[in-house]
Amino acid sequence: MNSAIRKARRFEREAHEILSKHEASTSRAYLLDDTYKKLSGLSLDQDQLIRQALRCVESKLFRAAHILAWTAYMDLIQNKLGLDSFKKVNALRPTWKIKTVENFWEKTNEFQIIETCKKLKLITEQERRMLQSYLTKRNWCAHPSNFYPDYNQTLGYVTDILKNMEKIQKRSYP
C-alpha cells in the first residue's frame, strides 16, 4: 500500500476518533463499528442479543439497548453456571433444585444470581457491586422510571457489558 493511502486511512481513523466525541456527529458510527468487532467468542444467542442492542443504539432506542445487552450477559451467566448441570449452584442453594435452564429462571431472580456468582467465585466483590448497578439500570429501563439514558450512557453500558462478558468467558468454571 502506498504512503498516501496509509496516511489517508490514518487521517480518517483519527478524524473519526475526534469527531465521535461530539453528540451530533455522524462519526459516532465509528465507535459502534469498534464495538461490533468485539463480538467474537460469544454464543450465537449472545451475539444476536448484542447486535440487536447495538442496532437499538443506532436507532436511538436507548432503554431497549440496555435491556438487550443485559439479557446477553445473563445468557452467558446461565450457560456458565449450567456447565456442570447446575451442581455447584444446587449445592450452594439447595432449595432452588435447578435441573434445566428454564428451571433456573423459574427459581431465581437476577440479584440472587449475581450473589450466587460471587459465592461461587465466578465474579469478584467489585464485579458483584458493578453488576448490581448494571441490573438496576436495566430495571429502570424495563419498568416505568425517570431514567432516560443518552447515546453515551448506552454505548458505555453495552461496551461495559461486553468487557465483563469477555472476563467471564475466560474464567474456568466449574
Write out the residue limits of the CATH 1.20.120 domain(s) in the chain: 44-170
pLDDT, residue 35, reads 62
| pTM score, whole prediction | 0.79
Reported as a single tens digit per residue, the pLDDT across 55-67 is 999 899 999 999 9
pLDDT higher for 1 or 72? 72
Sorted by sequence, the CB contacts under 8 Å of residue 54 that are 6+ apart come out as: 32, 35, 36, 65, 158
pLDDT at 29: 46
- Give rounded-to-5 percent helix, strand, coil for the chain: 75, 0, 25
Residue closest to 131 by CA, chosen among 108, 163, 85? 163
Residue 55 is predicted with a pLDDT of: 92
Q: According to the CATH classification, is domain 44-170 in 2.10.260?
A: no
Average pLDDT of span 17-42: 56
